[in-house]
């Protein structure tokens, strides 16, 4: 990041010294430390140092409000917080609501704000501490998820779970010591976390940009010879559609890993055509799985031919994981029938922090019930159709928004598409599309509906189209916040908007 260049030996020294500093501040085995910061090399050191010292990490969502982050600090009981220059003012605003915090460590290179400790000085003041060797079922992290419908939930992940996901990530990308990984996705999110841990296991190199930006991303790839990167679908679309997109800057890139939300088929096909020398790998999962469940490897990304339909698949289970598809009575459905996806693996969460009832609902006999709907074909490939709560029921028929969004994404004028259900007196719900057009492009509601007609059944077609000039609202992980799109339509009805 910037002009800083460190060897793994130097990183290890920093990690062991920061672990000693944490212990001197009172950290005991199992205690929580939190971080609220953009991507940086010190973010990696924070994670490793906390584990080295025997603690549990709490990565905080940089897109959350002060109130949401204050809740995660109170709920986790973290006593030490790491902040960078961007988020130091937020802590000043919420410190009265986070009474457990005893020490704040400033990650920036400038002088720290009042009452905050200097990261560099702490390193200089301490000799390396020995590794506490936490492992197995020991708690490694609380990863807060939700916060949009009720309180955020702290997903408890063990060292075993994170190790398992790191091994799977390293294997799916064939990571080696000579590779270079770009942190463009936010580091608080496990999509980046799993790949980052895999890169570390392989002894490969890390490159950091503070936050995703289409130009900064491709410039970093060119400058540092990046070979691997995680780009969620919205990020990939923004890179490809940017007026400064330059395929020459991707000459070193070998693999793009995507996931976190459904990949519109139009975006994926365009990416494969515009970056023909890059391999694409899809990963599906969720935070409660640490996060991996299935992989669609590069070998299954075919634009044409007998297996081209697998581009719409999330792939097959990673080694050591099992998947079931369940009906409303939690009985297995037959191949081709949609059911809720349940996963059992070494990466599964221990439960939700201090939430036994929610844990019992989601984690049943070792199976994580994801809330996602999908079906499996005869070859074992999983197809994600929607979040079960996002399914649209119109005239007694189930419509999965991801399928409609994928059809819309292949229209040449469409930059972004989101599909939601809105109230309809006759049908209960009607399919409604929210569209952001590419710069300078134009189309009509009738044209978009007609474009979809060749790809999906009549009852799935949008009945109305809304054109937006601003980007779709996104979560910190790059997922479209459909609850915000639905809320204006449902606020005066009895339906609960999720």
- Which segments of the chain have a pLDDT < 50? 1, 147-149, 494-498
The pLDDT value given to residue 495: 44
Q: Where are the chain's structural domains?
A: 8-134, 160-387, 391-490
Confirm if 209 and 218 have CB atoms less than 8 A apart: no
Using CA atoms, how far apart are residues 400 and 384, in angstroms rounded to an integer?
A: 9
Is residue 323 left, alpha or beta, with left meaning phi > 0 and alpha meaning psi from -120 to 50? Answer: beta
The pLDDT value given to residue 305: 80
C-alpha pair distances (Å), 167 with each of 127, 174, 320: 31, 10, 11
Confirm if 381 and 374 have CB atoms less than 8 A apart: no
Helices (H), 148-189: 159-172
145: which strand partners? Answer: 153
Using CA atoms, how far apart are residues 258 and 274, in angstroms rounded to an integer?
A: 16
Exposure string for 99-131, b = 16+ CB within 10 A, e = fewer: eebebbbbbbeeebeeebbbbeebbeebebbee
Using CA atoms, how far apart are residues 461 and 306, in angstroms rounded to an integer?
A: 27
Domains 8-134 and 391-490 share a fold: no
Using CA atoms, how far apart are residues 470 and 464, in angstroms rounded to an integer?
A: 19
pTM reported for the whole predicted model: 0.82
Using CA atoms, how far apart are residues 97 and 94, in angstroms rounded to an integer?
A: 5
Query: Does CATH number 3.40.50.300 belong to domain 391-490?
Result: no
Q: How far is CA 206 from the centre of its chain?
A: 18
The pLDDT value given to residue 393: 75
Query: Does CATH number 3.40.50.12780 belong to domain 160-387?
Result: yes
C-alpha pair distances (Å), 470 with each of 16, 402, 474: 46, 21, 12
Helix (H) or strand (E) holding 344: strand 339-344
Three-state SS at 157: strand
CATH dotted code for 8-134: 3.40.50.980
The pLDDT value given to residue 2: 57
Using CA atoms, how far apart are residues 407 and 454, in angstroms rounded to an integer?
A: 9
First to last CA, the chain: 38
Is the bond into 300 cis (omega within 30 degrees of 0)?
Answer: no
């Amino acid at each position: 990041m910037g002009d800083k260049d460190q060897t793994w030996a130097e990183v290890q020294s920093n990690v062991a010294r920061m672990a000693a500093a944490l212990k001197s501040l009172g950290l005991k085995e199992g205690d929580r430390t939190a971080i609220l910061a953009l991507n940086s090399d010190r973010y990696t050191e924070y994670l490793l140092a906390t584990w080295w010292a025997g603690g549990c990490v709490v990565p905080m969502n940089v897109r959350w409000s002060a109130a949401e982050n204050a809740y995660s600090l109170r709920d986790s009981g973290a006593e030490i917080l790491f902040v960078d220059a961007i988020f130091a003012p937020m802590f000043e605003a919420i410190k009265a609501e986070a009474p457990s915090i005893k020490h704040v460590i400033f990650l920036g290179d400038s002088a720290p704000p009042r009452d905050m400790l200097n990261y560099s000085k702490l390193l200089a003041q301490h000799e390396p501490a020995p590794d506490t060797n936490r492992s197995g079922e020991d708690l490694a992290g609380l990863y807060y998820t939700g916060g949009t419908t009720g309180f955020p939930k702290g997903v408890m992940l063990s060292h075993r779970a994170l190790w398992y996901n790191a091994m799977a990530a390293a294997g799916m990308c064939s990571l080696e010591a000579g590779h270079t990984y770009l942190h463009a996705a936010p580091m608080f999110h496990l999509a980046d976390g799993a790949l980052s841990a895999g890169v570390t296991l392989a002894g490969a190199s890390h490159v950091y940009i503070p936050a995703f930006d289409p130009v900064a991303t491709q410039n970093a790839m060119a400058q540092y010879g990046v070979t691997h990167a995680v780009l969620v679908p919205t990020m990939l679309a923004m890179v490809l559609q940017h007026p400064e997109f330059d395929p020459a800057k991707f000459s070193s890139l070998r693999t793009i890993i995507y996931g976190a939300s459904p990949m519109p088929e139009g975006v994926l096909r365009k990416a494969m055509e515009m970056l023909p020398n890059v391999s694409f790998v899809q990963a599906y999962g969720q935070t409660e799985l640490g996060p991996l469940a299935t992989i669609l490897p590069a070998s299954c990304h075919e634009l044409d031919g007998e297996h081209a339909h697998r581009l719409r698949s999330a792939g097959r289970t990673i080694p050591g994981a099992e998947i079931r598809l369940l009906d409303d009575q939690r009985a297995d459905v037959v191949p081709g029938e949609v059911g809720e996806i349940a996963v059992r693996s070494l990466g599964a969460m221990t439960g939700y922090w201090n939430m036994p009832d929610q844990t019992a609902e989601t984690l049943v006999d070792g199976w994580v019930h994801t809330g996602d709907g999908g079906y499996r074909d005869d070859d074992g490939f999983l197809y994600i159709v929607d979040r079960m709560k996002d399914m649209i029921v119109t005239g007694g028929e189930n419509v999965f928004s991801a399928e409609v969004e994928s059809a819309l994404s292949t229209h040449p004028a469409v930059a972004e598409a989101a599909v939601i259900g809105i109230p309809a007196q006759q049908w209960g719900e009607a399919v409604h599309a929210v569209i952001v057009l590419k710069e300078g492009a134009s189309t009509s509601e009738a044209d978009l509906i007609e474009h979809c007609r060749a790809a999906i059944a009549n009852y799935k077609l949008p009945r109305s189209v809304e054109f937006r000039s601003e980007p779709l609202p996104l979560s910190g992980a790059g997922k479209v916040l459909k609850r915000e799109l639905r809320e204006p339509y449902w606020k005066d009805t009895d339906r609960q908007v999720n």
